A and B are shown apart, each in its own frame.
Chain A
Amino acid sequence: MAAMLAVMASVGTARAKEVYLETLKGEVRKIPIAVVVAGDNAATVSMVSKALEDDLARSLYFDLIRHKEIKINGVPSKLNEAIRGQLRQLGIESAVIAYITQGERMIKLDGKLYETGSGELIFAKRYAGSDNMVRRVAHRFSDEIVFRLTGEKGIAQTRIVYVSDQTGAKELYIMDYDGYSPRMITSNKSLNLSPSWSPDGQRIAYTSYRDGNPDIYVVDLTTSKRERLSNYDGLDISPSWSPDGNLIAFASSMDGNAEIYTMDKGGEGLKRLTYTHGENVSPTWSPTGGEMAFTSDRGGAPQIYVMKTDGTNVRRLTFKGEYNSDPAWSPKGDKIAFACRRGGGFHICTMNPAGGGLTEITSGPGSDESPSWAPDGRRIVFASSREGRWNIYMINDDGSKLEKLTRNEGNNWGPDWSPN
């Protein structure tokens, strides 16, 4: 009798805990998944294995079952009953099997995704790339897995552009979304600031002092062609592409104080949107292109405002705190992230586009600034001085899973997350 009660008690506790966790997270049930990678080069196998596991775990759709026991000699076309039994016993519902072949200066990944209940193959793909593309091959495979199992576009192939002073000057760099493979995209030894991706991912608009005055430039990532888009008196800063890619909103002091303007992607068709006596900067478009949020001190201190993209219907969104800045509209449309001043530094806050639902998602020392959303609208990248020097961090929009992305000796600021 005692034993029976004990079993019942422990089952009861386990259930209660599970329910509690699910309610707390407010997420759909995650798919238990396992990754098995084999191949002839141990270093590549472990790199691919880690990259795949990290991607799937970060996607938030999976409960990653890490294991050391399952081994493969190749890629089976169908999982036999014995293996399926073993996988099911570990609670694994989907199995990712990859075999890496390393040739002369190239690698090949044979990837398969199985459903362990029936043993059926969900998809098989072969990815080939030069041997310095191992991580990109793994990211591509993991995005396909996310898409096949959830119907959502994965973000493992996305990238982040940011500012870093590791050479002494503030130059722009692009890194993979997990912080790997940083590469420099400006080298003018000047000040380069506020990078912004075009919606097609091909171009980056930014502010540069390369010719002396802060103006807006665009670099095409496929052709390396650069051009200056604006050359107005005073500041031309904080560019932001419209969702259709045709317009760039920016702040300029060409008429005295900083106001919000738009120009087309060729630098023509200038239109002024705001008319104030204050400073108006950092525009960010709603995903439909109908509205724009921005920072303005027209009421005294910097606060977040929103307006229609023809400049009408201006409303103030933030009322809590004496300094709110750097708005970033989620690509899903439901939230605006921004830097909210708390005590000495800023934290990252989110609110809905009507100004309600204020949530502080970061905490801790230093300052958290310049938020930018992942294309899935579920996580945010930002710059923080929480460890002294400025680095780029990523966090889920519920405040969980803070991850530091930059690993250089300099300071890093102003991240902008690429589209899918």
Chain B
Amino acid sequence: MKISRQGVRFVGVLLMVLFAISACSKKVATIEGTAPSSPSRDVQTTVEVDGTAKNGGTEEVVTEPLALLNTSNIAEDTIEPNDTAGKGISDLSEGAGSGEESGAAKGGEKAALTGDMKTGDLKTADLKAGDLKDVFFDFDMAILKEGEMDILKKNAEWIKKNGSVVVSIEGYADERGTGEYNLALGEKRALMIKKYLTVFGAPQNRIATISYGEEKGFCKEHNEECWAQNRRGHFTVVAR
């Protein structure tokens, strides 16, 4: 026996419609009960007896305490001095508020004292970098190309000539890698630049480094032109 496809479809649709109608007509349900009494001001845990429950026992209604649901306001941004660790970090936050000149002097002093410094330790206004030129890198590379070496030679000469300046090399990466790895890549680029500056005769105690990875690029577009701009070693003068 042969049944036409259309016939099967028609019966199927008919059954679905019938089912839908029957389901609709029986869907409305109203559940009656007593509305709970006015809100309790008690914020501690209380146990109330409320009607019958499972196995004929009493039903426990637990009032969850308010305090547990509270989240404290944590928008302030104050740092407790962590002197217990003995790392001598107490003077770092002063530079920003103490005026450009004294901040710069302090940065210079620190520079003379510490061999390897971080730009963060200086915390001074970004003075003009003068004749210092930035250098650029290939994707995912920290190797300096020939043309960039010529720039670094000139930068090293400038640092030597300007006897008291402290420069900071900021390492940057384009947005295409992942953030944490790019911070390491930016650091590697900054350290590579520092290494060649010292090879070319610039004193290492006047060169600081810091990495910003992909976190604050010079160019915000999403194309190769922009990415090339962001794979950079940027020079700033942090103290004179």
Contacts and interface: CB of A to CB of B under 8 A. Distances in A.
A128 B177 contact: no
Interface stretch (A21-29, A133-141, A356-364, A398-406): A133-141
B76 A224 contact: yes
What is the size category of the interface that chain B forms with chain A?
35 or more
Contacts of B123: 211-212
Contact of B177 (A211, A212, A234, A323): A323
A130 B68 CA distance: 11
A99 B188 contact: no
A47 interface: no
A119 B32 CA distance: 14
A337 interface: no
Given A6-B3, A227-B79, A301 B181 contact: no
B63 A77 contact: no
B48 A266 contact: no
Interface string B198-220: 00000000000111100110000
Interface stretch (B86-94, B150-158, B159-167, B228-236): B86-94
B64 A325 contact: no
Interface in A184-209: 184-188, 191, 193-194, 209
Given A9-B8, A77-B53, A213-B210, A2 B29 contact: no
Interface in A61-80: 67, 69-79
Q: Is the interface of A mostly helix, strand, loop or mixed?
A: mixed
B44 to A, nearest CB: 10
A210 B79 contact: yes
A251 B35 CA distance: 58
A273 B181 CA distance: 18
B33 A120 contact: no
A146 interface: no
A234 B31 contact: no
A192 to B, nearest CB: 9
A380 to B, nearest CB: 15
Contacts of A280: 184
A370 B39 contact: no
B121 A7 contact: no
A128 B64 contact: yes
Interface string A39-79: 00000000000000000000000000001011111111111
Contacts of B40: 108, 126, 128
A77 B80 contact: no
B112 interface: no
A107 B15 CA distance: 47
B98 interface: no
A313 interface: no
9 contacts: A102-B39, A110-B61, A129-B64, A186-B77, A191-B212, A211-B92, A212-B123, A224-B72, A224-B78
Interface of B: 1, 3, 7-8, 11-12, 15, 23, 26-36, 38-43, 48, 50-54, 59-66, 69-80, 82, 84-85, 87, 89, 92-93, 116-123, 140, 176-181, 183-185, 187-188, 191, 209-212, 215-216
